[in-house]
Copies of this chain bind each other. A is one copy, B any other.
Amino acid sequence: MTRPLARLPKGLNDYIGTGLSLHDHLIAKLSEVYRRYGFEKLVTPSVEYADALGSYLSDHDSASTPFLFKDDDAQPLILRYDLTAPLARYVAQNFAGLSLPFRRFQTGSVFRNDKVEPGRFREFTQFDADTVGSASVAADAEFCMLISDSLSSLGLKTGDYIVRLNNRKIINGLLDLIGAGAGAIGTARYLGVIRSMDKVGRLGLEGVKHLLGAGRMDKSGDFAEGAGLNANQIDRILEFLSFSVNVPVMERAQTCKALEKIVIGSATGEEGVRELMQIDAILAAANFGSDRVRVDPSVARGLSYYTGPVFEAELTFEDPEAAGKPQSFGSVGGGGRYDDLVESFLGFGVPATGVSLGVSRLAAALELRNLLSKKIERGPIVVLVLDRDMLTGYQAMVSELRNAGVPAEMYLGDKDMRSQIKYADKRRSPYVVIEGSREREKGVVAIKDLSLGKQISGEIGSYEEWLKSPAQISVQRSDLVKEIMDLLDPNAPKMSAAQSHML
C-alpha cells in the first residue's frame, strides 16, 4: 500500500498565528462598524444548488469558473463564488416574509476553480453589505460612509484612503450624447469603453486615449484591442475624465457642477448628477468631507449590472510590492446600485445597493502600514516542567493563572529545559515560569522575560546556567498571579492573590 501525500489542494491555504490573528481582528472590527450602521449578519451555506446561483460569475471575470458537483440525488451543486448570488437566492426565497429594506452583512469564504497564480487563491474571504428594497440614494450615501468608517476603524488615517464616487447614469448620459451608448455601439463595445475609463488611474489620460481608439501596446509587448471610438468621442470622454486627475482635489459639489455642464441635454446624465448632489448633501450633514469621499468621474466598475451610483475604496499610500514603478496600493473594494437582484427568480426587479471589501487585500495593507497591535500576537504563559513528579504543583500554577484570565499552559512534552524555553519562544509566550528544587525550597518561582531574554535563550542548556541568566525575576510563589498580571499590563487595576484564587 502506498502512503498518501499530505498536501493542500492547489490554490488553497492553511492559516495560523499572526496572519490568522490579523484576519480575525479585521473581521471583528468590520463587523462592529457594520452593526453600528444597522446591518444584520446573515450566514448562508457554502454549498448551493447550481441553478439557484445563476450566472453572475461569467460577468465577474471571464477566467473564473465555479466548483461543481452533485449530491446523492444527482442534483447539481456549486461552491458559492461570491456572496451576492446567495443573497439573491435568500431574498427571493424569503421575499414574502422579509421586512424591507433588508440590510444584511455577510462574510465568508468564496471559491473559484481558477488558474492558480501568485496572490490568486481558490478560496478567499469577502466582506459584503447590501441594502435590498431601497431606491433612495441615501442608501448609496450610507455605503460611502460605511467604507470610510470601516477603513478608519482599522487605523487608517484620512489621506491614507479615499472613497471615489460616481454614477453610471452620468457615464451613460455622456456616452448617449456622443453616440457611444450601449444602444448605439452594442453592449460588448460599451462595456469595453466603461472598463477603459476605469483604468485612468493606472494608465493616465494618454493610455486611456489609446484604449478608447485603436488599441494599446503595453511594455511587455502585449496588445490590448481598442474600443474603436472616433477622435471627437474620445476627446469628450477625456474631458470628462480630466476631473478625476485634478490635483488638488475639487469639492464634491464643484465637480458635480462641472459634470452637469458636460451631460446637459441627456435626461439620464442630468438625473445622475442630481443624485450625486443629494448624496453630497447627506455626506456633508454627516461630516464626511471630500478628503474622505470624493466625486471621481473615472470610477465605472467593470460589472455590467450596475445601474446608478458606484463607488470604490482606494488606499493611497505606496505599495513597494507593486509590479513595476511604485504606485498606490489601489482598490480594496467597492460597489454600487443594481436593480436586477431577484429578477431571474421572481420576474421583477428590486432596487438594491451594496459593497464588497476584499479581506486579504485589506490585511496586506494593514501589515504594510504596521497597524496590527502587538497584543494580538502574544502567546500563553508557559509553566516549565523541571521535575516530572511535581506535575500537580505546576498544574496548580497554571490553573491559578487561567482563573485570573491569563492564557497559560503547562509544558506537556518530554524535552529538556532548553527545548521547553525554545518551545515557549516559538509559541510567542511573553514569560515562562520556572520552579526547580532550589526555588521550591525557598517558596519562590522564577519568571523569565522571553522578549528580553530572546538573544540568550539559545545558550541556556541547564538549570545551573539558568540561575545565572539575566531577564528573570524571582517572586514569592503566592504572588505568582499578581506579578504576572503586573508584568503583562502594568496599568491594569490590581487584584489580590486571594481574589484571583476565588474567581
Contacts and interface: CB of A to CB of B under 8 A. Distances in A.
A286 B396 contact: yes
A4 interface: yes
Nearest to A428: B40
A364 interface: no
Contact of A427 (B17, B48, B88, B99): B99
Contact of A71 (B9, B48, B51, B344): B9
A14 interface: yes
Contact of A281 (B136, B281, B392): B392
Contact of A68 (B16, B69, B410): B69
Contacts of A399: 145, 285-287
Interface stretch (A194-202, A401-409, A440-448, A471-479): A401-409
Q: How large is the interface on A (under 10, 10 to 19, 20 to 34, 35 or more residues)?
A: 35 or more
Contacts of A247: none
A100 B420 CA distance: 10
Contact of A101 (B4, B101, B413, B422): B413
Nearest to A392: B285
Contacts of A45: 8-9, 12-14, 109, 123
Nearest to A48: B9
A8 B399 CA distance: 46
For the residues of A in contact with B, the DSSP-based class is mixed
A16 B282 contact: no
Contact of A113 (B20, B72, B99): B72
Contacts of A417: none
Interface in A333-385: 342, 344-347, 379-380, 382
A93 interface: yes
A45 B141 CA distance: 36
A101 B99 CA distance: 51
Interface string A13-31: 1111100100010000000
A466 interface: no
Given A36-B407, A396-B286, A345 B71 contact: no
Interface string A415-445: 0000000110011000000000000000000
Interface string A180-192: 0000000000000
A383 to B, nearest CB: 10
Contacts of A347: 3
A282 B391 contact: yes
Contact of A47 (B9, B345, B393): B9
Contact of A412 (B42, B136, B392): B136
A410 B138 contact: yes
B285 A134 contact: no
Nearest to A391: B138
Contact of A24 (B41, B278, B342): B41
Nearest to A425: B99
A77 B25 CA distance: 30
A405 B36 CA distance: 7
A65 interface: yes
Given A284-B392, A286-B395, A380-B38, A139 B412 contact: yes
Closest CB pairs A-B (n = 4): A38-B409, A69-B69, A6-B92, A38-B380
Interface of A: 3-10, 12-17, 20, 24, 35-38, 40-49, 51-52, 54, 65, 67-73, 75, 77, 79, 88-90, 92-93, 99-101, 103-104, 109, 111, 113, 115, 122-123, 131, 133-136, 138-139, 141-142, 145, 149, 278, 281-282, 284-287, 342, 344-347, 379-380, 382, 391-393, 395-396, 398-399, 402, 405-414, 422-423, 426-427
6 contacts: A37-B402, A38-B407, A38-B427, A45-B109, A282-B395, A285-B396
